[in-house]
Amino acid sequence: TEEDVALVVRAAHEHGVVLVPFGGGSNIAGCLVPSDRGGRMVVSLDMCRMHRVLEVDRYSLTARIQPGVYGQHLEDQLAEHGVTLGHFPDSFLHSTLGGWVATR
């Protein structure tokens, strides 16, 4: 849940732990391995179970979407609301929204 993620992030921050969110694992941008851990512990936070579109506002064309959703699954869920994300990277089928945000 969002609350669970917040607890993990807070604990990592309090204890100086490097936290690496994990989604699709395509690692196109090389973000899975921290470049400088400074001798600190590294924890990977798997986001794959956070894969839903939580809400869509068709008026403002905004949505709340969890980061672990894969491209096609995201488009399928958005289609139920009559909208599309309109972003189709080469890694669309095997990458997640969280990964797309991380590489931007």
Residue 28 has pLDDT above 70, yes or no: no
Q: Could you give the number of structural domains in the chain?
A: 1
Instruction: Report the C-alpha gap between 12 and 6 in whole angstroms.
Output: 10
**Within 13 Å of residue 86, how many CA atoms lie on the same side as its CB?**
4
Q: 15-47: b or e for each residue (b if 16 or more CB lie within 10 Å)?
A: eebebebbbbebeeeebeeeeeeeeeeeeeeeb
Over 70: is that where the pLDDT of 2 sits?
A: yes
Domain housing 7: 2-102
**Alpha carbon 94 to chain centroid, angstroms:** 13
Check which CATH number belongs to the domain holding 21 and give it: 3.30.465.10
pLDDT in tens, 57-78: 999 999 999 999 999 999 999 9
Confidence band for 38, pLDDT divided at 50, 70 and 90? confident
Residue 80 has which token pair? 């139920």
Q: Check residue 77 and give its pLDDT.
A: 97
pLDDT over 90 (residue 27) = no
CA distance 64 to 14: 28
d(CA 47, CA 33): 16
